[in-house]
Amino acid sequence: MSDQHTPDPRLAIDFCGLAMASPLVLLSGCVGFGEEYTRVAGFSNADVGAVCLKGTTLEPRLGNRAHRVYETPGGMLNAIGLQNPGARRVVDEILPALDFNETRFVANVSGSTIEEYEAVTRIFDDSPIDAIEINISCPNVKEGGVTFGNDPDMSARVVAACRRATSKPLITKLSPNQTDIAENARRCIDAGTNAFAVINTLMGMAIDIERRQPVIGNNQGGLSGPAIKPIAVFKVFQVSQVARAHGIPIIGQGGVTCAADAIEFLLAGASAVGVGTGLFYEPLVCREINAGIADYLDRHGIAHVADLSGTLTLNGT
């Protein structure tokens, strides 16, 4: 049972029509299917606006062979490989156990083909899930994932297929491992996305020098954590230049461990901020981040967190 406290109304936001008590979003893959995190002593759903569930495919997946997680300086490599019980079991057995009155829940849809993305989205469309995140940029599976996310044409085709399958808000998770993220965002907007999550992890590798082999069983994995934050902030800024004109909100994510990190993403153009690897450092970091954002609002005489979004002033302007 969660430890509830009164959320600060200045931190409440509307994201794609969803009322969120906080701009903070718990990222996919970091909190299982939601129920794992609520068991942490001191956790309160008032601290988070939404929870992104673990990446889900049409059929069950066992994931990659070990090792699947490796700590690096300033971050973490992971190559879980989308281990999950399959979309139908998630909807039938896991979603009924979640309390949708406490926070918003976002499904994370993955696939190896466009048809699989559409099929999984259709399954979640017929469920109480609040929104659907399209994972077109996973760097730690051998098929799908990066192939879709780094090609604007393929990205748009996946978004269009998912758009046909649901009327729920679609959040497209964009890959940083591509040439022109703004162009990809533009194509996804045309295809029907309602929002973006920027960014997914970067491709990385760690090598065991004694064995002369990669540490990760999948050879490569996704790098997350503070090491990628400057890249993530810049990518949010780039995407926001396209998204703002269309009223498309962004979840900025990548290396957030404190309030100052979250505020950087908001200033760069994000409307919400994802917290992932930071939860491994401090499971209750969201409460600290919210308090820090509220303090920033006080110190700068800002009425509401939404008033921060996209207020960055570039040097020389």
Q: Which residues contact 212 (CB under 8 A, 6 or more apart)?
A: none
Which one of 138, 162, 188, 286 is the catalytic residue?
A: 138
Neighbours of 100 (CB within 10 A): 12
- For residue 138, indicate whether it is catalytic: yes
Whether the link from the prior residue into 67 is cis, omega within 30° of 0, is: yes
65-68 long-range contacts, CB within 8 A, separation 24+: 65/217, 65/218, 66/217, 67/215, 67/216, 67/217, 68/216, 68/217, 68/218, 68/221
**Rounded Cα–Cα distance for residues 90 and 84 (Å):** 9
Distance of CA 162 to the CA centre of its chain: 17
Three-state SS sequence of 273-309: EEECCHHHHCCCHHHHHHHHHHHHHHHHCCCCHHHHC
312 vs 270: CA distance, rounded Å = 11
Q: Please give the radius of gyration of the chain, using alpha carbons only, rounded to the nearest integer.
A: 18
Residues with catalytic annotation? 138
